[in-house]
Amino acid sequence: LDPRTLETLGVERFGGKLERAVSAHAKVDPVSGELLFFDYATTPPYMTYSVVSARGELTHHEPIDLPGSRLPHDMAFTEHYSLLMDLPLFWDPQLLERKVHKVTYYPEMPSRFGILPRYGTNADVTWFEASPCYIYHVVNAWEEGDEFVMDACRVIQAEPGAKRGEGELARMRAFLRLEAQLCRWRFNLATGAVTEDQLDDEKTEWPTINRHKMGRTSRYAYNSMVPHYEGLVKYDTLRGTSEKYLFGAGRTSNEAPFAPRAGARDEDDGYVVTFVADANAANSSEVVILDAKNFAAGPVARVRIPQRVPVGFHSTWIPGDQIRAR
C-alpha cells in the first residue's frame, strides 16, 4: 500500500521468492531493519520461518518441523535469536481431515517454544517445554547471558466457554475476550532449563512498548485492561510495579501504541496514544494522549472526532520521516 494514500500498489513477493504467507505478527528489528516472520499451514511443512533484509530481499526461508498443524499467533526475537511457538490450542486433527476447522485446547500437552539463531535452520532449533497455555501477544524478548527472556500475555483460559444469549457468535466472542496475565519465561540455552513467572494478577492484553527497544532489554509495557477495556496499565518490570489510567464509565479503548517524544533519551519519554469510544454519546470518539512518564495523571491532549471510530485491534505509530510515498 502507499503509506500516505493507502492506494494499492500490488502484491509483495519479495522478488518472487515469497512462496507462503506472512504471519499476523511479523517483527522488524529496529537496529538491522530486518523483517522476521513465520507462517503456518494445515499441510506439511506446518510452519516456515523467514527473514527479509532492510532492502526488501528475502534472505532466509526455512521449513520448521512440527508434529502437526498448529495455530501460533505471535513470535519473539532478540539480537541473535528468534522464538517460534507450538502451543496446545489448535484445530482438532480428526475434524481437520474432513475440512472442519474447530479450535480445541489440549491441556495434557505442554507448550513448546523453539529457539533458533536468526539465520538458523530447522536442525538448529532448540525446543523447550513449559506448562500448557496459549499466547496471543508477546511484549518483548532479549538476551541475558545464556538466557532468552520473553515477556508475554498468557491466556488464563485457552478455550473459553461461550456465554448464553450471545447467539451464533458466542464462541467467537468468548475467544475475543482474551483474558490474560503478564508473565515472563526464561529459556536457558546452555542448560535447557525453563522458568515461568506470573508478573501480575491483573488481566491485561494488547501490549505495546517503545519499538526502539524491540529485541533488546526493555523495562516498560503498556497494556489494555481486559475483558472490558476500561483502562490502560503501565508496567515497570524492573521495579515490579504498575499504574493505571481509567477512561471513565461507558468509555472503552483497545491497544495503545507508544510514540517516543522527539529527542527522547529515556525508554518511557514519550506518549501513549489510543482511540477511545464513548457509549455515552452517540457516534462519538476521541484520540487520548497520555504522558508515559506521568501515566496516571490523565490525558495531556484529547482530540475530539466528529464521528465514531470503531475500537480496532492493532496499530503502529510511525514517525512521519519514515513514511515515504513511492
232-280 tens-digit pLDDT: 999 999 999 999 999 999 999 989 999 999 899 999 999 999 999 988 8
pLDDT tens string 95-104:
999 999 999 9
Please check whether residue 245 is in contact with residue 232, taking contact to mean a CB–CB distance below 8 angstroms: yes
Q: If 0-12 CB within 10 Å is exposed, 13-18 middle and 19+ buried, where does residue 23 land?
A: buried
CB atoms within 10 A of CB 245: 21
d(CA 13, CA 57): 9
pLDDT digits (tens, 9 = 90+) for 172-230: 888 877 899 999 999 999 999 999 999 999 999 999 999 999 999 999 999 999 999 99
CA 120 to chain centre: 23
